[in-house]
C-alpha cells in the first residue's frame, strides 16, 4: 500500500460524491462540491487502507464493503431526494422494513416504482455502482496489476462522468485529473504508507462537526446521509432580528403551555356531539374555493358557507402523526393529559375512524396515548376498506362499538374521522372522478374531489343512522402537499405554505358565520372544549374566539426518515422564517410564501439561531 494509491482512491471517491451531489441538488447552489466532500472522500479512501495495514486483506474487504454501503446510501439518497425531497438517513432502512411488514405490498409499491422511474430518467447517474465497484475491485487484484488497472478505472470514471449531469462541474473534472495523475505517476514519486497517515485523515471527520455548528464549514453529502445534522447554536442574548423577530426562549415568549381562557361562547354547545374531520394531505391551495383550477369540493364548500372559518390556518408540522398530536393535545408535544382525556372525563364518548392502517409510522400509538376509547382503522374494518366503504362498513362498526360500550346514548360523542385515499400515491376508486389524467397533481386533485363526495355520504350516514345528533362539525386537514413549489414535493419535507396552510371551518347553527384572521391546529381542541363548556388541559393554543391569541408559531417538517427534522422555522406576526438544513437555504417570507427573500451572511445565521432557540425551548430538536 502506497501513499499515492490512497490519494488516487480519494480522488475517485470525490468524483463519485461530486456527481451524486450535482444530481441531488440540481439547479441549486448546494450542487457545488464542498470541502466536506473532499474530507469524506479522503476518509473513504483512508478507511480501507488503514484496515489493510491493521488486519490484512480480510479487514480491507470488510472496510470496502462499508465504503460501498456508504456510496449506495448516497446513490439511493439522491434519487429519493429528487423524487420525494425526503433525505435518506439511518431510519430510512428501519422504515422500509416496517413498511414491508406492516403494510400491504400494493401500499408501498409506488415508492419503488417512482424511485426506479427517476433512475430511468437519469441513466448516467443510475450507473454509479459500475465505477464504484470497479474502483474498489482494484485492491483485490494482484499488486503487480495495479499500475495497469488504475488507468482503466480512470477511463471508466471519465466516460461515466461525461454522461451525467455533473459533466459541467469543474470540481468533478479536477477530481478526475487528480485520479489520472496519481494513477500514472512514476514509482519514484511514491512513498510507503504509514499507519498514521490514514489515521489522521479519519480523525478529521469528527473534527469537522464543530466547524459546521458554527457555520464555518458546509456539510458533506456522505456525512449528512449517515449522521444527524448539527443545528445552529441558539443566540446568546436578547436581540431583534432583521425580520423583526424577538429572541425565543424568554419569559412570556408564548412557548409555555397554559390553561386556555373561556371565551364569550364558552358552554354554548354544552352536551352536543362533535364531528372532527381531517382530510389527508389537502392544503388550502388545492381547493377551487381558494385557487383557480383546484379541486371542486361541494360538501366542504357548503360547510364553509355557514361556518366560522379561518383565513390562514396553520399546521405547525406537516406530518400526520405530529398533526394528530397537535390536534389531540393542543400542544407541540404529547406530554401529559390530552384534550381528548378532558372530554372523556366530562362524559363524552370518544372515537376515531379511518380507512388508514394506523399501525404504520406510529399513528396508532399517538391515538391511543391521546385517550380515544374507540379506534376503528383498516385492520379493524376488515383489512381492505377504503374511504368509499366508510359510510357503510365504518358506520356499522362504529355503531357496534358504541352499542357494546357501557356509556349511555345520552352521553355526547366526540368522533374524529380521518380520510386516507388522498395520501400519496393518491387513489381514485370511482371512475367518475378520474377527470384530469395520470399526472401526480392531476390524480391528487381527482382524489380530493372523490374524498369530498365520500365525506358527504359519510356525514349523511352518521346523521341518518343516529350516530350523531345536531353535531358541531370541524373540518380541516392533517397537512398539505407540495408539488414542486420552492423545490419541494409531498409532505413532511418543508414548512412551506403548500404543506402548512390548510382549510378550516367550524360549523353549527348556534354559531354565526365569521372569519377568523389566523389560527392553528393548536387552537382546534381548545376551541371545541370551550364551546362544550369543558375545562381544557394546558395548551399552546386557545379558543378561536379570542382576538388576542399569540401570533407566534414554531414550525418543523417532521422526522419521516431522520432522527431530527431537516426543515424548520418560525412565524412571528405576519412574517415567517424557514431554514432548510439539507439545501442550506434560509428564507424570510409571509405565511403564504409570497415573494420569499433568501437570507445570507449574518442575517441568515441569526435567523437560524432564532428558529433553533424556539425548537429547543419546545423540545422539538
Final residue before a domain boundary, out of 510, 539, 568: 539
428 and 508 part of one domain? yes
According to the model, what pLDDT value does residue 562 have?
A: 67
Please tell me whether the overall predicted TM-score, pTM, comes out greater than 0.85 for this model.
yes
Our measurement of the distance from residue 514's CA atom to the centroid of its chain's CA atoms, rounded to an integer in Å, reads 33
572 and 615 part of one domain? yes
488 and 566 part of one domain? no
State the Cα–Cα distance between residues 423 and 448, nearest whole angstrom.
10
In a domain, 235, yes or no: yes
According to the model, what pLDDT value does residue 245 have?
A: 43
CA angle 256, 258, 261 (to 5 degrees): 145
What number of H helices and E strands is found in the chain?
19, 18
469 and 576 part of one domain? no
Final residue before a domain boundary, out of 539, 574, 609: 539
Per-block mean pLDDT, blocks of 10 residues, the chain (621 long): 85 95 88 86 87 83 92 91 81 50 59 88 94 93 90 95 91 94 73 72 76 68 77 59 41 75 95 97 97 97 97 96 97 94 97 92 93 94 89 95 74 96 92 91 96 97 96 98 92 95 98 96 98 97 91 87 82 93 90 92 89 90 75
Query: Strand (E) positions, 216-348?
Result: 274-279, 308-310, 313-314
According to the model, what pLDDT value does residue 350 have?
A: 97
State the Cα–Cα distance between residues 242 and 225, nearest whole angstrom.
32
According to the model, what pLDDT value does residue 423 have?
A: 93
According to the model, what pLDDT value does residue 215 have?
A: 62
The total domain count for the chain is 3
In a domain, 262, yes or no: no
In a domain, 322, yes or no: yes
Which residue blocks in 413-471 are alpha helix, DSSP H? 440-464
- DSSP sequence for 148-164: HHHHHHHHHHHHHHHTS
417 and 510 part of one domain? yes
Query: Strand (E) positions, 438-574?
Result: 472-477, 482-483, 489-490, 501-502, 505-507, 514-516, 519-520, 552-556, 567-572
In a domain, 320, yes or no: yes
479 and 591 part of one domain? no
247 and 211 part of one domain? no
> Closest by alpha carbon to 375, among 392, 391, 359, 389?
359
In a domain, 269, yes or no: no
219 and 237 part of one domain? no
Whole-angstrom CA distances from 495 to 121, 365, 505, 610 are 28, 24, 22, 16
> Closest by alpha carbon to 280, among 486, 438, 427, 164?
427
According to the model, what pLDDT value does residue 106 have?
A: 57
318 and 346 part of one domain? yes
Q: Provide the domain limits for residue 279.
A: 274-539
Neighbours of 511 (CB within 10 A): 17
According to the model, what pLDDT value does residue 462 have?
A: 97
For position 449, which CATH number holds? Answer: 3.40.720.10
State the Cα–Cα distance between residues 535 and 529, nearest whole angstrom.
7
Contacts of 261 (CB under 8 A, 6+ apart): 542, 543, 546
State the Cα–Cα distance between residues 531 and 560, nearest whole angstrom.
35
290 and 377 part of one domain? yes
Q: What is the DSSP letter of 233?
A: P
In a domain, 264, yes or no: no
In a domain, 544, yes or no: no
CA angle 504, 362, 412 (to 5 degrees): 50
According to the model, what pLDDT value does residue 104 have?
A: 56
291 and 190 part of one domain? no
Strands 374-376 and 567-572 turn out to be: unpaired
> Closest by alpha carbon to 422, among 384, 477, 461, 380?
477
218 and 240 part of one domain? no
In a domain, 601, yes or no: yes
Our measurement of the distance from residue 250's CA atom to the centroid of its chain's CA atoms, rounded to an integer in Å, reads 28
Amino acid at each position: 500500500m502506497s501513499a499515492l494509491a490512497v490519494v488516487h482512491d480519494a480522488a475517485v471517491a470525490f468524483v463519485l460524491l461530486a456527481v451524486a451531489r450535482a444530481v441531488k441538488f440540481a439547479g441549486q447552489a448546494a450542487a457545488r462540491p464542498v470541502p466536506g466532500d473532499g474530507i469524506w472522500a479522503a476518509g473513504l479512501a483512508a478507511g480501507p487502507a488503514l484496515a489493510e495495514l491493521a488486519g490484512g486483506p480480510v479487514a480491507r474487504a470488510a472496510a470496502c464493503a462499508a465504503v460501498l454501503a456508504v456510496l449506495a446510501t448516497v446513490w439511493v439518497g439522491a434519487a429519493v431526494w429528487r423524487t420525494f425531497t425526503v433525505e435518506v438517513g439511518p431510519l430510512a432502512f428501519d422504515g422500509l422494513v416496517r413498511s414491508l411488514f406492516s403494510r400491504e405490498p400494493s401500499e408501498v409499491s409506488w415508492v419503488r416504482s417512482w424511485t426506479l422511474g427517476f433512475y430511468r430518467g437519469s441513466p448516467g447517474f443510475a450507473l454509479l455502482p459500475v465505477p464504484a465497484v470497479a474502483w474498489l475491485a482494484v485492491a483485490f487484484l494482484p499488486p503487480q496489476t495495479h499500475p495497469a488497472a488504475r488507468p482503466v478505472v480512470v477511463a471508466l470514471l471519465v466516460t461515466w462522468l461525461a454522461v451525467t449531469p455533473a459533466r459541467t462541474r469543474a470540481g468533478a473534472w479536477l477530481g478526475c485529473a487528480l485520479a489520472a495523475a496519481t494513477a500514472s505517476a512514476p514509482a519514484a514519486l511514491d512513498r510507503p504508507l504509514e499507519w498514521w497517515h490514514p489515521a489522521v485523515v479519519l480523525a478529521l471527520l469528527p473534527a469537522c462537526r464543530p466547524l459546521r455548528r458554527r457555520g464555518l464549514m458546509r456539510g458533506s453529502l456522505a456525512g449528512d446521509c449517515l449522521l444527524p445534522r448539527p443545528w445552529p447554536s441558539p443566540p446568546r442574548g436578547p436581540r431583534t432580528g432583521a425580520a423583526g423577530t424577538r429572541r425565543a426562549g424568554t419569559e412570556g415568549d408564548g412557548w409555555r403551555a397554559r390553561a386556555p381562557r373561556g371565551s364569550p361562547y364558552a358552554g354554548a354547545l354544552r352536551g352536543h356531539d362533535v364531528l372532527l374531520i381531517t382530510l389527508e394531505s389537502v392544503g388550502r391551495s388545492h381547493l377551487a374555493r381558494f385557487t383557480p383550477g383546484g379541486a371542486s369540493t361541494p360538501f366542504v364548500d357548503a360547510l364553509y358557507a355557514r361556518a366560522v372559518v379561518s383565513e390562514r390556518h396553520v399546521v405547525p408540522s406537516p406530518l400526520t402523526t405530529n398533526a394528530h398530536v397537535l390536534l389531540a393535545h393542543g400542544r407541540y408535544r404529547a406530554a401529559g393529559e390530552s384534550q381528548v382525556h378532558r372530554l372523556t372525563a366530562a362524559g363524552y364518548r370518544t372515537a376515531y375512524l379511518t380507512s388508514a392502517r394506523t399501525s404504520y409510522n406510529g399513528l396508532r400509538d399517538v391515538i391511543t396515548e391521546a385517550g380515544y376509547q374507540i379506534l376503528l382503522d383498516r385492520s379493524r374494518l376488515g383489512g381492505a376498506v377504503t374511504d368509499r366503504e366508510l359510510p357503510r362498513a365504518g358506520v356499522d362498526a362504529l355503531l357496534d362499538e358504541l352499542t357494546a360500550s357501557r356509556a349511555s346514548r345520552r352521553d355526547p360523542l366526540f368522533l374524529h374521522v380521518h380520510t386516507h385515499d388522498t395520501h400519496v400515491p393518491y387513489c381514485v376508486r370511482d371512475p367518475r372522478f378520474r377527470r384530469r389524467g395520470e399526472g401526480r397533481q392531476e390524480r391528487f386533485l381527482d382524489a380530493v374531489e372523490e374524498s369530498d363526495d365520500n365525506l358527504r355520504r359519510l356525514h349523511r350516514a352518521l346523521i341518518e343512522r343516529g350516530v350523531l345528533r345536531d353535531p358541531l362539525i370541524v373540518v380541516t386537514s392533517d397537512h398539505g402537499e407540495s408539488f414542486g413549489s420552492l423545490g419541494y414535493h409531498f409532505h413532511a419535507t418543508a414548512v412551506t405554505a403548500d404543506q402548512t396552510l390548510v382549510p378550516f371551518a367550524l360549523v353549527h347553527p348556534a354559531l354565526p358565520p365569521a372569519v377568523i384572521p389566523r389560527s392553528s391546529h393548536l387552537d382546534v381542541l381548545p376551541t371545541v372544549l370551550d364551546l362544550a363548556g369543558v375545562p381544557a388541559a394546558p395548551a399552546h393554543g386557545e379558543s378561536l374566539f379570542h382576538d388576542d391569541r399569540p401570533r407566534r408559531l414554531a414550525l418543523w417538517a417532521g422526522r419521516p426518515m431522520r432522527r431530527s427534522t431537516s426543515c424548520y422555522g418560525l412565524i412571528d406576526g405576519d412574517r415567517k422564517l424557514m431554514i432548510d438544513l439539507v439545501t442550506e437555504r434560509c428564507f424570510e417570507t409571509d405565511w403564504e410564501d409570497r415573494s420569499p427573500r433568501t437570507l445570507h451572511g449574518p442575517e441568515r445565521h441569526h435567523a437560524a439561531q432564532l428558529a433553533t432557540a424556539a425548537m429547543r425551548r419546545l423540545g422539538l430538536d
